[in-house]
Amino acid sequence: MQLNNNKEYLTIALPKGKLFSLSADLLAKVGYTAEGLTDKSRKLVITNEEKKLRFIITKTADVPTYVEYGAADLGVIGKDVLAENGMDVYELLDLGFGRCHVMMAVPKAERRPQLTDYAQTRVATKFPHIAEQFFSAHGMQMEYIKLNGSIELGPIVGLSESIVDIVETGTTLKENDLEEIAYIMDATARLVANRVSFKLKFERIHKLTEELRKVLALEKGAAQ
Ligand code: PRP
Using CB atoms within 10 Å of the CB of residue 141, give its burial: 0 to 12 exposed, 13 to 18 middle, 19+ buried: exposed
pLDDT value, residue 100:
97
Q: What is the pLDDT of residues 93-117, one digit of tens each?
A: 999 999 999 999 999 999 999 999 9
**Listed residue (162, 168, 170) closest to 138, CA to CA:** 162
| Ligand 1 lined by 165 (C-beta under 6 Å) | yes
* The pLDDT of residue 212 is above 90: yes
Q: How many CB atoms lie within 10 A of CB 53?
A: 21
For residue 31, how far is its CA from the centre of ligand 1 (angstroms)? 31
All structural domains of the chain with their residue ranges? 10-98+188-223, 100-185
Sheet holding 45-48, edge to edge: 45-48, 53-58, 10-15, 74-78, 189-193, 90-94
pLDDT value, residue 92:
98
Q: What is the mean pLDDT of residues 201-213?
A: 97
Q: Report percent pLDDT > 70 for the chain.
A: 98
pLDDT value, residue 71:
95
Q: What is the pLDDT of residues 157-200, one digit of tens each?
A: 999 999 999 999 999 999 999 999 999 999 999 999 999 999 99
Closest ligand 1 atom to 171 CA: 14
Closest ligand 1 atom to 172 CA: 14
* The pLDDT of residue 43 is above 80: yes
For residue 166, how far is its CA from the centre of ligand 1 (angstroms)? 7
* The pLDDT of residue 223 is above 90: no
Homologous superfamily (CATH) for 100-185? Periplasmic binding protein-like II (3.40.190.10)
Q: What is the pLDDT of residues 70-95, one digit of tens each?
A: 999 999 999 999 999 998 999 999 99
Q: Please give the backbone phi and psi of residue 142, each rounded to the nearest 5 degrees, phi first.
A: -135, 165
| Terminal C-alpha separation, the chain | 47
pLDDT value, residue 4:
56
| Ligand 1 lined by 61 (C-beta under 6 Å) | no
pTM above 0.85, yes or no: yes
Length, in residues, of the chain:
224
| Per CATH, domain 10-98+188-223 is 3.90.550.10 | no
What are the angstrom distances between the C-alpha of 97 and each of 80, 92, 93, 187, 219? 13, 15, 11, 9, 12
Closest ligand 1 atom to 152 CA: 8
For residue 149, how far is its CA from the centre of ligand 1 (angstroms)? 8
* The pLDDT of residue 7 is above 60: yes
Same fold, 10-98+188-223 and 100-185: yes
pLDDT value, residue 5:
56
Q: Taking the C-alpha atoms of 78, 79, 84 and 85 in order, what is their torsion angle to the nearest 10 degrees?
A: 70
